[in-house]
């Protein structure tokens, strides 16, 4: 396997987004070949060569990685899993609404969301389900109750966040259900009633 393939595999195992520290740890775990003293620099250069977010983006190289919190913070995400198999010259297929949702979720998976998911051991606060990946790692999603960005302008703070399984995340994103404190089976951090009200009165009716 090439370095690029190991990096993509490591991102994949980490849910599509990782800090360099997490990425190095995962690569050490999955790569059987001995590592050279400069291997971490090789990883960083390989990511930068394959990202239009970097000044080192190689001419004609596919744009595979996305700098999540701006350059210099060291958090990168896989831009799009499918893009890896697609020649860069291909005209992009129109994305479905669901695909766009998934992309936004990955980009917004901030360090805060990561910590919150760890606090809940990757269990959904509504149904307690936790997905166990074939790498033995767990998977859950962080949800902003009052959505970030226009037109909602919700804040990126834990009082506005819950940890969910993908089904409950989709139900809330699409306003398919209401959300009350009593719906939460596991609660280890405080959630502001203000944001629950916002969901129930502003998101839920717009179906």
| Closest approach of Zn ion to the CB of residue 203, in Å | 17
Please count the residues of this chain forming the interface with Zn ion, following the rule CB under 5 A: 5
- Give the range of 41-49, 75-83, 152-160, 164-172 binding Zn ion by CB under 5 A: 164-172
For helices 20-30 and 3-13, angle between their N-to-C axes, nearest 10 degrees:
110
- The DSSP bridge partners found for residue 95 are none
Q: Per-residue string for binding with Zn ion, 119-138, x by CB under 5 A?
A: -----x-xx-----------
Distance CA 44, CA 75 (A): 11
Q: Which residues, at least 6 apart from 105, have a Cβ–Cβ distance to it below 8 Å? A: 141, 169
**Residue 82 CB, nearest distance to Zn ion (Å)?**
26
Smallest separation (angstroms) from Zn ion to the CB of 157: 22
Nearer to Zn ion, 50 or 169 (CB): 169
- Tokens in use for 149? 């960005």
- Could you say whether residue 168 binds Zn ion (CB under 5 A)? yes
CA distances from 125 to 144, 153, 155, 161, 191 (A): 13, 23, 20, 11, 12
**Shortest Cβ contact with Zn ion: which residue?**
124
| Contact with Zn ion (CB under 5 A) among 17, 165, 172, 191 | 165
Nearest to 70 by CA among 50, 88, 51: 51
Q: Which of 149, 138, 139, 195 is nearest to 172 (CA)?
A: 195
Nearer of residues 102 and 127 to Zn ion, judged by Cβ: 127
Q: Which is nearer to Zn ion, 1 or 133 (CB)?
A: 133
DSSP H or E stretch at residue 98: helix 97-107
Q: How far is the CB of 175 from Zn ion (least distance, A)?
A: 16
Name the residue nearer to Zn ion (CB basis): 161 or 165.
165
Task: Mark the segment that binds Zn ion (CB under 5 A) among 38-46, 84-92, 112-120, 167-175.
Answer: 167-175
Q: Which is nearer to Zn ion, 61 or 130 (CB)?
A: 130
Distance of alpha carbon 163 from alpha carbon 186, whole angstroms: 10
Measured from the CB atom, the residue of 63 and 171 that comes closer to Zn ion is: 171
**Largest CA-CA distance found in the chain, in angstroms, rounded:** 57
Q: Which residues bind Zn ion (CB under 5 A)?
A: 124, 126-127, 165, 168
């Amino acid at each position: 396997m090439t370095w690029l393939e190991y990096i993509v595999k490591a991102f994949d195992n980490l849910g599509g987004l990782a800090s360099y520290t997490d990425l190095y740890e995962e690569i050490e775990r999955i790569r059987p070949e001995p590592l050279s003293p400069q291997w971490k620099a090789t990883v960083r250069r390989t990511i930068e060569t394959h990202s239009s977010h970097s000044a080192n983006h190689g001419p004609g190289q596919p744009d595979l990685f996305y700098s999540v919190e701006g350059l210099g913070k060291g958090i990168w995400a896989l831009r799009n899993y499918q893009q890896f198999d697609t020649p860069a010259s291909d005209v992009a297929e129109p994305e479905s609404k669901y695909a766009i949702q998934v992309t936004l979720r990955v980009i917004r998976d901030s360090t805060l969301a990561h910590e919150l998911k760890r606090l809940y051991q990757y269990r959904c606060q509504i149904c307690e389900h936790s997905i166990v990946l074939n790498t033995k790692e767990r998977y859950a999603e962080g949800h902003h109750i009052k959505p970030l960005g226009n037109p909602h302008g919700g804040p990126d703070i834990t009082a506005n966040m819950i940890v969910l399984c993908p089904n409950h995340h989709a139900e809330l994103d699409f306003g398919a259900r209401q959300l009350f404190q009593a719906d939460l089976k596991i609660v280890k951090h405080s959630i502001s009633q203000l944001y629950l009200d916002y969901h129930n009165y502003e998101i839920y009716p717009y179906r």
